[in-house]
Amino acid sequence: MENVLEIKDVTYKKNQKLILKDVNLTLQPGKIVALLGENGAGKTTLMRIISGMAKNYRGSVKIDGFDKDAEKKAHLSFTDGLTGFNDSTKIKAVVDFYEVVYQDFDKSEFEQLRRFMKLDLEMRLSQLSRGMREKLIIALTFARKADLYLLDEPFGGIDAMARKKIINSIILWKNDNATILISDHFVNEIASLLDEVVIIKDQTIYAHKSADEIRSNHETIEQYYEGLYDGDEED
């Protein structure tokens, strides 16, 4: 089966500052993969490169074998923060926009997710708390039938109880062949979902291991990850 994501020799600079260098990463279909790294390591930048939002990088990025931006965007769904919408926009207008723009957007699926998240279609974006806004973004993201989902720290403003329910439900919201790449600070909370772990350190992919391999050699995935930064563990 073809890889859902292939990144080869990607290097990225912003304002003459090197952010990522010689990044190589391959992800197979059907996996849930954590993208870990300390603040400023380049996780969001890598997500933006994969999604096509960050330009002018060296190297190549393919999704389902496609390398053109329009084709790649048609096969992925990214938690992009609703930055293109005015604060006065109602949730139902955002949904209408998604239905027009994304052919794979499933309105009935969104309705189920909306009910799960307890969101009111009549609410304006300005009325949403940070947690409610993140719930909306997650619902919009998973209402698309994509092959690759990019979740960039999606739970930061969501309270612990709701976060746990959402994390436990994520595996139900994707089809078997879809892959999720998730960057998150709540490592222990997402650990049970994970098939693989990718760690960014020193501006590149420092480690890419199966979650089972890490679990067999360490008490927790978080312990392994923190150990790399503490200098206590060898890759």
pLDDT in tens, 36-90: 998 888 999 999 999 999 988 999 999 999 999 889 999 999 997 788 899 999 9
Torsion, Cα of 5, 170, 37, 79 (10° steps): 70
Distance CA 232, CA 214 (A): 15
Are 127 and 155 in the same domain?
no
Q: What is the pTM of this model?
A: 0.92
- Sort strands 32-36 and 58-63 into parallel, antiparallel or unpaired: unpaired
Instruction: Count CB atoms within 10 A of the CB of residue 146.
Output: 25
The DSSP bridge partners found for residue 182 are 34, 151
Are 52 and 165 in the same domain?
yes
**Measuring CA to CA, which residue among 97, 116, 117 is closest to residue 107?**
97
Are 62 and 154 in the same domain?
yes
Among the candidates 144, 170, 188, a domain finishes at 144
Are 97 and 200 in the same domain?
no
Are 116 and 185 in the same domain?
no
The 10s digit of each residue's pLDDT in 94-127 is 999 999 999 999 999 999 999 999 999 999 999 9
**Domain count of the chain?**
2
Query: What residue numbers bound the domain in which 63 lies?
Result: 1-75+146-235
Distance CA 99, CA 177 (A): 23
